[in-house]
Amino acid sequence: MDGGGCSMNGGGDGGGGESGSRLGVITLEDLDSFIEDDLDPDPSAFGAGDPGSGSGFTEEEGQGRLLTFWQNIGRGHRVDIPQDMAQPIQQLTTDIESSPSKEIVPFSLVTREEKCGNVMYEKRVYKKACWACVTVREDTYEQSICAGFMKIMRYICEQNSSGRYLGMTVPIVTVVRTDEAQVSLSRDVTVAYYLPSHLQDEPPLPSDPEITMETWPSTVVYSRTFTGPTNETTILREIRALAELLDSPDQCVSGSFIIAGYTSLAAEHRLNEVWFLERQ
């Protein structure tokens, strides 16, 4: 990823370390518990379950109730969730219920910096891979990431050349850009989705012309975990916090960073990472 682009730009295939089958700072147990928190304790209350399983709602009614749930959350962020999101929202919700363990973007762990038993950050290598990307610009950062995420959701949920549901992977990443002093974020953000491994060689093409398919090169990433909402204030704070921990932050791309989200934008509890990308 350069200062104004979407793709990751890193340094080689990187050293060995652990497989990306674990999240390092974030364990799979953590991920499962956060994904479960994305949903109401009784998902059938929103009509997400099989209409014949006792929920009492038809498929259309279930979609409507889920859409209303998301619309109520969206209003809190001044985001409008349109009617055509009903089907993608239900499809993703059903997928989360039936298979809470999602494919994780693979990486190799190079080093882990710890202090007093706490993990401060990790150095990882992400291999060359295909991502679906969309760049959007709205009035606020939160509106921009929501607009981009909805476009990616539609692509995942059948609005692609295969006409099939592609399946969720984690994290969904957002490329954010700051001013030189790192005191404000650009309204332009890029939301990107890692194609599942079985689709990497032949990714379905998006129906939306604003979504592009990009091959991101192998990249060295410095990653730090944080929880809670992702807004301009929290993101700038986390960028500064990671910069203070690195011995040589000037070795990383400046003015452009990645926020990796492991949980839904509608989740009460959010599990995230901030990534710095090492210069090539």
Query: pLDDT value at position 263?
Result: 80
Asked if residue 186 and residue 69 are part of one domain, the reply reads no
pLDDT at 89 over 50: yes
State the amino acid at position 177 in one-letter form.
Answer: R
Q: Sign (positive/negative) of CA torsion 75, 141, 90, 266? A: negative
More confident residue, 75 or 208: 208
The pLDDT value recorded for residue 32 is 46
Say yes or no: 247 and 227 in one domain.
Answer: yes
With b for 16 or more beta-carbon neighbours within 10 A and e for fewer, the 149-161 pattern comes to bbbbbbbbbbbbe
The partner residues of 13 in beta bridges, in order of sequence, read none
Residue 19 and residue 261: Cα distance in Å, rounded? 20
Considering the chain, what percentage of its residues have pLDDT values greater than 70? 63
Please identify, among 98, 122, 140, the residue that sits at the C-terminal boundary of a domain: 98
Burial class (CB in 10 A: 0-12, 13-18, 19+), 37: middle
For 92, the domain range is 40-98
Whether 6 has a pLDDT exceeding 60, the answer reads no
Task: Quote the number of domains for the chain.
Answer: 2
Tens-place pLDDT, residues 258-267: 999 988 665 6
Residue 125: pLDDT over 80? yes
Average predicted confidence (pLDDT) for the chain: 78
Are 63 and 176 in the same domain? no
CATH (domain of 159): 3.20.80.10
- Chain segment 22-76, per-residue pLDDT in tens: 334 444 444 444 444 443 333 333 333 333 333 455 666 666 776 666 656 666 6
Res 153 pLDDT > 50: yes
Residue 18 placed within a domain: no
- On whether both 57 and 78 belong to a single domain, the answer is yes
DSSP SS3 for 152:
helix
pLDDT band at 226 (very low <50, low <70, confident <90, very high): very high
Claim to verify: residue 50 and residue 127 sit in the same structural domain: no
Could you tell me if 165 and 57 lie in one domain?
Answer: no
85 and 199 belong to one structural domain? no
Q: Indicate whether 89 belongs to any domain.
A: yes
pLDDT number for residue 78: 64
Query: What confidence score (pLDDT) does residue 79 get?
Result: 66
User: What is the C-alpha to C-alpha distance for residues 224 and 82, in angstroms, rounded to an integer?
Assistant: 34
Average pLDDT over residues 113-118: 92
DSSP letter at 196 equals: P
Task: Count Cβ atoms below 10 Å from residue 38 Cβ, excluding itself.
Answer: 20
For residue 231, the model assigns a pLDDT of: 86
At 142 the pLDDT is 81
Whether 8 is covered by a domain: the verdict is: no
**Distance (Å, whole) CA 76 – CA 140:** 13
Q: Are strands 169-170 and 103-104 parallel, antiparallel or unpaired?
A: parallel
